[in-house]
Structure 1
Amino acid sequence: MTPTKERINKTFELHGESFEIEGRPTKGFFQLLDLQSDNIYLDDIESSAVVRPGLICWITGDTSASVGESVVRDGRTYEIKKLSKLRRRDEVMLQVIVLV
């Protein structure tokens, strides 16, 4: 594991919000899915099906997640609609997931 990835993982462990992906506890950072972000990640048809509030969540690259899995945050269940892996030198540093 690179020093950069270690720092990212430590930041998530110390400051991330706890939630569950398919019953597996993990930590991440959340943001509301506003219209600008909505247009970045979803096409018009997908966007029209979103029940507000949708969320964007950043998780570590080591976290197991895939499209279609369920996420429970504060008692509310979301579905992973999109997943993007952010890499540095072929190593996954972060994952961005769109929750609807």
Structure 2
Amino acid sequence: TNLSERDTDIKIDEIQKHGGLHVIVKFMSPNKRVEQETFGRTSRQGKRGTSQRILNTINLAHYADFDIQKITELRNKIEANMLSDFKQRELQIITLADEIFAKF
């Protein structure tokens, strides 16, 4: 589990006096929610801070273009397609299974 997840509260009272926490993200978040949660560590509970993503291009070799904006857009598009696919296929199966289960 990522340190920034699971409601982690880092005590930064002294750090706040110097501008707040700076979070460096060294991976491409698998989805927008994880990215927002990770970057949100800097401003948790109204605190000040900054965040930055630093990626090793070796880890991005499967992308044709190393432009971070394009990579982020591609990731978001893939996630949107996966959610759409889930809604169209898996959700129908789950709903049907629930209906059948309710009868027995």
Give the structure with the higher percent strand: 1
* Larger-gyration structure (1/2): 2
Q: TM-score, length-normalised on structure 1?
A: 0.26
Give the structure with the higher percent helix: 2
Q: TM-score, length-normalised on structure 2?
A: 0.25
